[in-house]
Amino acid sequence: EPEVTQTPSHQVTQMGQEVILRCVPISNHLYFYWYRQILGQKVEFLVSFYNNEISEKSEIFDDQFSVERPDGSNFTLKIRSTKLEDSAMYFCASRAPGTGGAYGYTFGSGTRLTVV
C-alpha cells in the first residue's frame, strides 16, 4: 500500500536554528499538508499546498515557516529560527485528486522535533 514517508523521524535542534522537515507524498497525490501535534494536544492544521502554491494556511504558519516542493517528489517544511514552542510532532499528509475534501488523507508517521 502506498505510503507517505517522512524524514527524519526525530530531530533535535538548538533554539534559533533552522530546520527542514522532509516528506515524500504518494506519487499520484496532488494535495499536500503539514499538521503538527504538540505533546498531548490536538492535531493542528498548518498549511495546505496545491499546484505549487499555498492554498490555505493557519495563523500558526507565520513568517518563520515555509513550504516547498522542490523537485516534484519531496515536500518540505522549513522553520527558519526555531523556538522552544515549536517542539512538536509534525505530520505530512497527502490526498488524491477528487471531489473537494471528500477524500481522507494519508499521513506519514511524523517527525518529532525537539527544540532545546
Pick the stretch among 19-27, 67-75, 80-88, 105-113 that binds another protein (CB under 8 A): 105-113
Does 50 bind another protein (CB under 8 A)? Our answer is yes
Contact positions with another protein (CB under 8 A) in 16-35: 31, 33, 35
Q: Going along the chain, which residue ranges are E strands?
A: 5-7, 10-13, 19-24, 31-37, 43-50, 53-57, 65-68, 75-79, 88-95, 106-107, 111-115
Residue from 15, 20, 38, 43 binding another protein (CB under 8 A): 43
Q: Which three cell numbers stand for residue 74?
A: 519531496
Contact 97, 31 (CB under 8 A): yes
On whether the CB atoms of residues 115 and 86 are closer than 8 A, the answer is: yes
Tell which one of 11, 22, 24, 45 touches another protein (CB under 8 A): 45
Contact positions toward another protein, by CB under 8 A?
4, 31, 33, 35, 41-45, 48, 50, 55-56, 58, 91, 93, 99-110
